Structure 1
């Protein structure tokens, strides 16, 4: 794919620090560790701070808090609920103590002092399901991450508060939750199990895996969560396996790269891209410059999708039409093409039979490039070249496989194309024989200097004879 260098840098900015303008993204991030009535947890505030920073980098407005009391959590939740109304993506992250009482999950503020089920239900703890419904209910995409499966510090007291006629079911971890439409819920570990807090002063295994994977460039969130589970299981020697439930509709990217945007736009031409794509902006101009000479309709369509009212839309449409016309023309315009080219399937075996050496492979790549199918003439058929061959086959009506057979190769050679001259290879440097010697290996005196022979003496010229003798003597 043509490298959209400047567009990539511009768009990466716009999906990072300024991405809140692209689509409305709001996150609630809280880590509670300084509990007043039970042993403190050292890492949740560190987890929350790292998560908040990571989410801001991909365009979230973050309502953040650490070591919050019941009133403090309520205040943050009310703010989150107001800002998350109509959000494209609403994200909820909590690290700290959580409990499950009669299969209902609760989050614990730092001032919680639970002695009975009544304390839980009358407001000393935060009901998870009610909270999510009230704060994130109308967001298009809802992502929930609960690193709150630590061992319940109030379990014994709550259990003992039950009466003879009514027992209280208190589990070690959190209870299973089902996600509604457009929602992903992820727990640090399986329902009813406890999760590790990690080494003091660092991140928990679950949060560390989230930070590594969910905002990786081009990562789709459900695929990222598969990597999160694998990372946590590996790091804890299979002692902890994150659990989740998802009911998302479509792919969700927290940090889409340009290639991902092009692929999504090509696959779903009617998709609405982020509103940050403002027509007439510097970003639009650089995006257009990077793809205006492209021979790939999907790149031009990506521009049109991002800038439906863009100033270069007519040019993009005209270029797409020209490419489509050129792609179909060779079927009838190229003389001498064997009809078998349109029916015979090519494979690695058929290509091997052609006997393409590196020079012939480079010639194929140069011809494809000259026909508008961008590829580098390296003499190696890598994945990129295979994709180009597939596009050439599709444009010509040949069976698509990414490999050549003899008739397709012959058809390619028959297509009229102007090949760019390859630069002449640089001349090889002349290697001169050098004699290395060290200070320890000095040559013998005879090799250091060879005496010049005395000039021939002309008897008729005594002066020259004397000079020759003297000269020969001095040279010795």
Structure 2
């Protein structure tokens, strides 16, 4: 692990080197301004507010989707389409302006067609705000959600007066705080619990005007920006309105990194933050990510030294640029791309701002680097290989797809990774969400054909418990479609001895490895009937070792695990990529999960 005096280093380096600007981010925004309510009168400000916010966001390079006067059904339809089209965004902003209400501890945003005659109309005529937050949170690495819907709502007042006591109606003004935090999101209400938001005397509400005024402040982290907004709104409303913030962002968000010394300092600090996180992780994958992201960094030589010292195995590929063996000629054709395909990829990358070199139809290192950079910016496994998911993200069609035969592995051994450090290094939201669930366990991870695989040391955890944990982490116990996928999963865990249990029982030596998603149903006829994949995928591939499955004499063997038997006891260490049927109470020490 590198030990550096960063206080001295930062001071020295800053005056010697220029710093790299922040990587291009995909930024998207979904704005709704509802004012033309059929049963609650007209609101003048919401449409003007979202136009103002939208203008500021466009100047900050956001792709803005702006809507006015949507019904309840239209809100759901537009938001779903927006999230599906932008599920690879680095930063997503949602701004809802209009009428809102609370009911039984939940907040709701009202479509323009809301009537609310009885409490049974709540779910059918409104949009639950917590559902919006969860949907946005699941589709973006970082989300900023603004709820400017705390206005004095005559429809909600009438609803409570007609269905509840007068005192209850007074108690339910405004919105309520969130019941739980939203991981990876900042949620901002324009007013605190029990308060209403004021429209003010100008063309825009005090809250929207302040957000627009401060959102593009150079070199300011978003939490600092919102503190300024709170101060402005309190001052303008004479302390009658105080915006309420719930912040659970995993990373700092800067929407405007300015030029000059301050901007250079901030950019340098972001580079240093990644270097700190990589130093903490100290894995081949982490060092390679740093070198790919900041190849001209003043820390590059140090990072290269650390990476080289960990590179103990030539056949483990952990870096985007270690792909020279598939660059030209016949090897290129084997991976399924024609010369015309490669030219199309190179041309498209150029139009997207990635330097893929001349569109000569040759998959060289510069093109691989451009593909890897595009994948990294779009939260895809950064392999430099043209997979189906990558082509889809680019918006192109090619005659064939490359198979990601260059897998990416995190490390040679399982670690208890810090979720905060991991969030600095990796961009795959599937991994970041799974890491939170698995943070108390030692894991290693890798990508193959755009699927994420995680090896988990699951001591004292049976097969059903492993599957339950995999589901909570967003996936399932791994399923293998062919020999190549099977071999990838085996290589993922093959170098950490803790995934393997050696037994000298009987003749020879037996090595039992981790389990995965192949099991025998209770009604299956012994010894080999009823074996199925956990996701009900048709069983077109198996890799049983000789004599298996055999349902051992003294116990029920209902689960598959990696296994190898060898008769030569003089061999000190061996593992295998074939399968044995096992009972988990005896061999359940590790498992492999998969996330699509």
With normalisation by structure 2, the TM-score equals 0.42
Q: Which residue of 1 aligns with 2:45?
A: 43
CA contact (8 A) 1:190 1:242 kept: yes
1:180 correspondence with 2:186: no
Alpha-carbon distance change, 39 to 163 in structure 1, aligned in 2, over 3 angstroms: closer
1:238 correspondence with 2:239: yes
Per-residue CA shift, 1:400-427, capped at 9, x if unaligned? xxxxxxxxxxxxxxxxxxxxxxxxxxxx
Alpha-carbon distance change, 58 to 113 in structure 1, aligned in 2, over 3 angstroms: same
Query: C-alpha root-mean-square deviation of aligned residues, in Å?
Result: 3.2
The separation in 2 between residues aligned to 1:224 and 1:237, in whole angstroms, is: 20
> Following TM superposition, by how much is the alpha carbon of 1:128 offset from its aligned partner in structure 2, in angstroms?
0.7
The separation in 2 between residues aligned to 1:314 and 1:248, in whole angstroms, is: 28
The separation in 2 between residues aligned to 1:163 and 1:96, in whole angstroms, is: 24
Please, which moves more after superposition, 179-188 or 78-87?
78-87
CA contact (8 A) 2:92 2:140 kept: yes
Equivalent of 1:262 in 268, 276, 282:
268
Q: Say which SS state the counterpart of residue 154 (structure 2) adopts.
A: coil
CA contact (8 A) 1:117 1:168 kept: no
> Following TM superposition, by how much is the alpha carbon of 1:222 offset from its aligned partner in structure 2, in angstroms?
0.7
Q: Which has the larger radius of gyration?
A: 1
Per-residue CA shift, 1:291-333, capped at 9, x if unaligned? xxxxxxxxxxxxx9696475x6799759x99xxxxxxxxxxxx
> Following TM superposition, by how much is the alpha carbon of 1:106 offset from its aligned partner in structure 2, in angstroms?
0.8
Alpha-carbon distance change, 85 to 315 in structure 1, aligned in 2, over 3 angstroms: closer
Q: Which residue of 1 aligns with 2:33?
A: 31
Alpha-carbon distance change, 196 to 169 in structure 1, aligned in 2, over 3 angstroms: closer
Alpha-carbon distance change, 41 to 262 in structure 1, aligned in 2, over 3 angstroms: same
> Which structure: greater helix fraction?
1
Q: Which residue of 2 aligns with 1:67?
A: 69
> How many residues in Structure 1 have an aligned counterpart in Structure 2?
273
Q: Which residue of 2 aligns with 1:196?
A: 198
Equivalent of 2:121 in 119, 130, 145:
119
Q: Say which SS state the counterpart of residue 137 (structure 1) adopts.
A: helix
> Following TM superposition, by how much is the alpha carbon of 1:65 offset from its aligned partner in structure 2, in angstroms?
0.4
The separation in 1 between residues aligned to 2:160 and 2:47, in whole angstroms, is: 29
> Following TM superposition, by how much is the alpha carbon of 1:47 offset from its aligned partner in structure 2, in angstroms?
0.6
> Following TM superposition, by how much is the alpha carbon of 1:271 offset from its aligned partner in structure 2, in angstroms?
6.6
Alpha-carbon distance change, 309 to 266 in structure 1, aligned in 2, over 3 angstroms: closer
| Residues 162-181 of structure 1 aligned to structure 2 (within 5 Å) | 162=163, 171-177=172-178, 178-181=180-183
Q: Which residue of 2 aligns with 1:53?
A: 55
| Residues 66-465 of structure 1 aligned to structure 2 (within 5 Å) | 66-121=68-123, 123-162=124-163, 171-177=172-178, 178-200=180-202, 202-257=203-258, 258-259=263-264, 260-269=266-275, 308=293, 310=295, 317=301
Structure 2 gaps, min length 5? 1-13, 279-288, 306-596
> Following TM superposition, by how much is the alpha carbon of 1:80 offset from its aligned partner in structure 2, in angstroms?
2.0
The separation in 1 between residues aligned to 2:16 and 2:95, in whole angstroms, is: 36
CA contact (8 A) 1:28 1:80 kept: yes
- Say which structure, 1 or 2, has more relative contact order (CA 8 Å, 6+ apart): 1
CA contact (8 A) 2:146 2:189 kept: yes
CA contact (8 A) 2:29 2:63 kept: yes
Q: Say which SS state the counterpart of residue 257 (structure 2) adopts.
A: coil
> Following TM superposition, by how much is the alpha carbon of 1:160 offset from its aligned partner in structure 2, in angstroms?
4.1
Per-residue CA shift, 1:268-310, capped at 9, x if unaligned? 32679xxxxxxxxxxxxxxxxxxxxxxxxxxxxxxx9696475
Alpha-carbon distance change, 140 to 92 in structure 1, aligned in 2, over 3 angstroms: same
Alpha-carbon distance change, 3 to 159 in structure 1, aligned in 2, over 3 angstroms: farther
CA contact (8 A) 1:186 1:245 kept: yes
Alpha-carbon distance change, 226 to 126 in structure 1, aligned in 2, over 3 angstroms: same
The separation in 1 between residues aligned to 2:272 and 2:66, in whole angstroms, is: 37
Please, which moves more after superposition, 81-90 or 205-214?
81-90
> Following TM superposition, by how much is the alpha carbon of 1:41 offset from its aligned partner in structure 2, in angstroms?
1.0
The separation in 1 between residues aligned to 2:28 and 2:115, in whole angstroms, is: 31
Please, which moves more after superposition, 128-137 or 221-230?
128-137
The separation in 1 between residues aligned to 2:187 and 2:31, in whole angstroms, is: 15
CA contact (8 A) 2:95 2:146 kept: yes
The separation in 1 between residues aligned to 2:108 and 2:55, in whole angstroms, is: 25
Q: Say which SS state the counterpart of residue 222 (structure 1) adopts.
A: helix
> Following TM superposition, by how much is the alpha carbon of 1:88 offset from its aligned partner in structure 2, in angstroms?
1.8
Q: Which runs of 4+ in 1 moved over 4 A?
A: 1-5, 167-170, 304-310, 312-318
CA contact (8 A) 2:291 2:300 kept: no
The separation in 2 between residues aligned to 1:27 and 1:186, in whole angstroms, is: 15
Q: Which residue of 1 aligns with 2:407?
A: none
